[in-house]
Amino acid sequence: MSVVENKIAPEEVFREHGGQLRMSEAIAYGISRYSLYKMRDLGIIEQVTRGLYRLVDLPPISNPDLVIVGLKFPNTVVCLISALSFHEMTTQIPHEISVAITRNARIPSFDSPPVRGYKFSTEAFNAGIEKHKIDGVSVQIYSAEKTLADCFKYRNKLGMDVVLEALKLYRSQKKFNLNKLLKYAKICRVEKVMKPYLEASL
């Protein structure tokens, strides 16, 4: 429903679409740039990041970094330390959002939050994707088991202590799906590396 077709207030257009819109979406729904900037200046909406606006009376964003990545880079998948943090499997505090992309995709570049892209093979990229709704935004994040396999794959970059802590915290959550872990280990080609650690955890 657009402003022009139904002569509804721009604020109502925002409400109809979950309270937040990209500038391109707002324009497509009939809100002019002038109206958008006027709403911002009047304190009706706030600019979350470049090109993204939301109503100020919405509840605070619980995880703004993941929401921004979900909106700005919908074809990426949150991975590695960022996925560990989401699944509460690390004590590390991510200083950037790690996202997986396909090998032929352009690496995303963003300053706030800083985003780092990792190129995955097609099979590894498509495996274990979960879609989570965060503040009304769909964000793609790898499952806990797929994330563990990815972390073993990137163990030299992350540090083995981070990987083993993740495995320990995963186990402490009283979920240990050996079949899933081995499935993703095979896809990520780290089966031989992971197997001894998994067997020791049984």
| Tokens linked to 68 | 């921004």
Q: What is the mean pLDDT of each run of 10 residues along the chain (202 residues)?
A: 60 88 89 92 86 84 82 92 95 90 84 87 96 87 97 96 95 88 96 90 72
pLDDT of 4 reads 46
pLDDT of 80 reads 97
Q: What is the pTM of this model?
A: 0.77
| Tokens linked to 18 | 């979950």
